[in-house]
Amino acid sequence: MNNDIKEVLYSKEQIAEVTKKLGKQITKDFEGKNPLVVCVLKGAVMFTTDIIREIDTYLELDFMDVSSYGEGTESSGEVKIIKDLDTSVTGRDVLIVEDIIDTGRTLQRLVELFKHRNAKSVKICTLLDKPERRVEGVKPDYVGFEVPNEFVVGYGLDFAGRYRNLGYVGILKPEVYEG
């Protein structure tokens, strides 16, 4: 599996460091707010479980399963809700945790949905941001790294369901998805 990676972009250590830093900021900003942290499955699962342990406030955790990519390397443009939240967001300060913002469609959809359901506030924390690819005007509040326009995998990010279990974020060799 590691042979399919062209280059390591962010090591385990770099991810842990940035996660700690973001956790501190979030702790300050959400003190006393009892936020509802929403993990966007499946990609955000590693980042979510790591970052919530760096946040020193009361919080609640819930999961939403959303998918826009399917098997390909290109977003289909259609954001499907596969599993909704169990918790009501009405009156809550919501913090959405994502692995990556690419076109922004997934988050645009979620922010609209939570606002429609009368969340008190909706903030976004993403490990990776790829602003070059943005088609929606979504702006994250907390960003780990800005990534170049390359197909990245690992630490939750997949290609056709694979590579989520890499401990780091790396660039996939083009021959893997072209061949």
For the annotated catalytic residues, the residue numbers are 102
Q: Which residue is nearest to Mn ion (CB)?
A: 43
Give least dist CB 56 to ligand PRP, A: 26
Q: Residue 43 burial (CB < 10 Å; 0-12/13-18/19+)?
A: buried
- How many residues line the site for Mg ion (CB under 5 A)? 2
Q: Which CB, 33 or 158, lies closer to ligand PRP?
A: 158
Give least dist CB 106 to Mn ion, A: 6
Q: Which CB, 27 or 75, lies closer to Mg ion?
A: 75
Q: Which residue is nearest to ligand PRP (CB)?
A: 43
Q: Does 69 bind Mg ion (CB under 5 A)?
A: yes
Q: Which CB, 57 or 67, lies closer to ligand PRP?
A: 67
Give least dist CB 77 to Mg ion, A: 14
The whole-angstrom separation of Cα 32 and Cα 124 is 18
